[in-house]
Homo-oligomer: A and B are copies of this chain.
Amino acid sequence: MNFAEFKKQVDLSKKALCQEVFAENRERIRIKKEATVVKNLEKIFSATLKISNKKGFQAMSMRDLSRETGMSMGALYAYFPGKEELVAMLQRQRRSVTQRIFEERIAAEPDPPKRLESAVRTHLYLSEAMQPWFYFSFMEAKNLAAEEQEKAVLSERYTEGVFADILQDGQQLGAFRKIDARLLASIIKSMLQDWYLKRGKYARRNVSVDRYAEFILGFIRAYLEVKNPDP
C-alpha cells in the first residue's frame, strides 16, 4: 500500500459520507436536490477550512465565506442554519470517515509490530489526505461549542488508546522491551500531529509523507528494540 492508492480510497469515502450528511440533515438543509447539495457542501466545507486555517474560524465572516465560495450569503444560509451548525456538520462527517478507515486498517493486522506500523502509516496517510481538516480540528477545537470539544477529546483519547494497546500487547508477547506504553503512545501521537501541524515546513524541505513515516518508525523501533537478547 502506498499513499496514492490510499488517497483514492479516502476520496471515495468522502463523497459517500457527504451523501450521508445530506441524509442526516434533510430537515435542516433547505435545498432538496441531492446533487446540488453535495456539490455545494463540498465547496463550502473546503472554503471554510481554507479561510479558518489562515485566520481562525471565529475570524472568518460569512462575507469571507461568500466571497470564497462565490455564493451569496442568502444562498449559504440555505445549506446550514448558522455558523455553529456548519462546523458541526463538517466535524461529524470528517470524524466518521477517519475513524472508520483507521479502525478497518489496524484491525487487519494481528501482529503487534505490524499493527504499530499500520497504525502509524494509516494515521499519517489520513492526515496527509485531509490535512486542512486535521489542522482545523486541532487548532479550533477549544473555540467550538462544548459538545464539539467533548467529541474532539474523546477522539484524541481513543487514538492514543489504540497505540497504548498495541504497545502493551507487543510487550506481553516479548516483541517489544518493557517501556511505559502510555507515555510512549502520547509521544507517538505528538509526532503524528507534527506532520499535519507543520505540513508547510516539511513540504519546503521536500520531506514526503513516506519518508516521514520511515523516519519515525525507525525512531520508535530503536526505542522498542529488545536489548541483550539471550545468546
Residues of chain A at the chain B interface (Cβ within 8 Å) = 53-56, 58-59, 139, 142-143, 180, 182-184, 186-187, 189-191, 193-194, 198, 201-202, 205, 207, 212, 215-216, 218-219, 222-223, 225
Shortest beta-carbon distance, A83 to chain B, in Å? 12
CA distance A207 to B184 in the complex (A): 12
Where chain A touches its partner, the secondary structure class is helix
B219 touches A223 (CB 8 A): yes
A58 neighbours in B (Cβ, 8 Å)? 56, 58-59
Which listed residue (B182, B186, B198) contacts A186, Cβ 8 A? B198
Contact call B187/A55, Cβ cutoff below 8 A:
no
Contacts of A59 in B (CB 8 A): 58, 143
Q: So how many copies of this chain end up in the complex?
A: 2
From B139, B143, B205, give the contact of A55 (CB < 8 A): B143
Q: How far apart are A109's CB and chain B's nearest CB, in angstroms?
A: 24
Partner of A194, one of B180, B187, B216: B187
Contact in complex: B183, A187 (CB < 8 Å): no
Q: How far apart sit A218 and B219, CA to CA, in the bound complex (Å)?
A: 12
Which residue in chain B gives the minimum CB-CB distance to A222? B223
Q: Closest CB-CB distance, A189 to chain B, in whole Å?
A: 8
Assuming the A-B contacts A53-B142, A142-B54, are A187 and B205 also in contact, with contact meaning beta carbons closer than 8 angstroms in the complex? no
Most buried by B among A212, A215, A218: A215
Residue of B nearest to A224 (CB): B222
Note all chain B residues with C-beta closer than 8 A to A191: 187, 190-191
Kindly provide the distance from the CB of A149 to the nearest chain B CB, expressed in whole angstroms.
10
Whether A215 touches B56, Cβ cut-off 8 Å, given contacts A186-B198, A194-B186, A222-B223, is no
> Given A54-B142, A219-B223, A223-B222, A194 and B190 touching (CB < 8 A)?
yes
Say yes or no: B55 contacts A142, CB within 8 Å: yes
Once bound together, how far apart are the Cα atoms of A59 and B140, in whole Å? Answer: 12
A187-B191, A222-B222 known; A143-B215 Cβ under 8 A: no
Please give, as numbers and ranges, the residues of chain B lying within 8 Å of A183 by CB-CB distance: 207, 212, 215
